[in-house]
Amino acid sequence: MKNDLEISTEPMPAIYAEKIRTLRTRSCSLEIPERENDVFILHTLLGIELKVGRRRFASPDLATARYMRVFARLGCRSFAIPYDITKISTLADELETAWQLSLLTLETSSAGGTDRELKRNRSRLFKSIRSRIAEIGPGDRMPEFNLSTKQRKT
């Protein structure tokens, strides 16, 4: 059973390491519990908010809220958000697909087991994904902007 969980944890950390952390990113921190969370995207008069438990977090747009929802579901407190807003939507799609793939793999590998075993394996899966994302790290709070403007010759 351990090997099945290892296989199913690959997509999300791989996407995070290879496609997100290689970009210019900024870190995001959410004060949420490190466990599986129910997360809702709310459309309010003030804009779009992410609701995790009783806490609400402002989001600049829907794509960013979808992106943050994936990490909030897992209970990741710190993660990286791409600075280029045009890439967030496609990465959110990929992460949500990987999330569903992980859940599907977990259900098929745990078929025939009790509900208690399924919950335990689900908790173990989320903890594994969360720890691998934490190992990769959220990066810097703000990206570096090394813009050299060589207009004047000295």
Question: What is the DSSP secondary structure assignment for residue 48, as one 8-state letter?
Answer: E
CA-wise closest residue to 122 among 12, 23, 10, 36:
36
- How far apart are the C-alpha atoms of 78 and 134, rounded to whole Å? 7
Highest mean pLDDT among 10-14, 70-74, 111-115: 70-74
Residues 72-110: pLDDT tens digits?
999 999 999 998 999 999 999 999 999 999 989 888 887
Amino acid in position 126: F
CA dihedral 43, 48, 50, 54 (to 10 degrees): -60
- How far apart are the C-alpha atoms of 125 and 63, rounded to whole Å? 25
- How far apart are the C-alpha atoms of 108 and 88, rounded to whole Å? 30
Q: Which two tokens stand for residue 87?
A: 């890439």
Q: Which comes out higher in pLDDT, residue 151 or 47?
A: 47
Q: Which of 3-7, 100-104, 114-118, 130-134 has the lowest mean pLDDT?
A: 3-7
Average pLDDT over residues 31-35: 93
| Spatial contact of 119 and 96, defined as CB atoms under 8 Å apart | no
pLDDT band at 6 (very low <50, low <70, confident <90, very high): very low
| Spatial contact of 80 and 26, defined as CB atoms under 8 Å apart | yes
Tokens 């600049």 -> residue: 60
CA-wise closest residue to 93 among 73, 70, 122:
70
Q: What is the predicted pLDDT for the residue at 3?
A: 45
Q: What is the predicted pLDDT for the residue at 114?
A: 86
| CA 122 to centroid of chain Cα atoms | 17
| Spatial contact of 79 and 69, defined as CB atoms under 8 Å apart | no
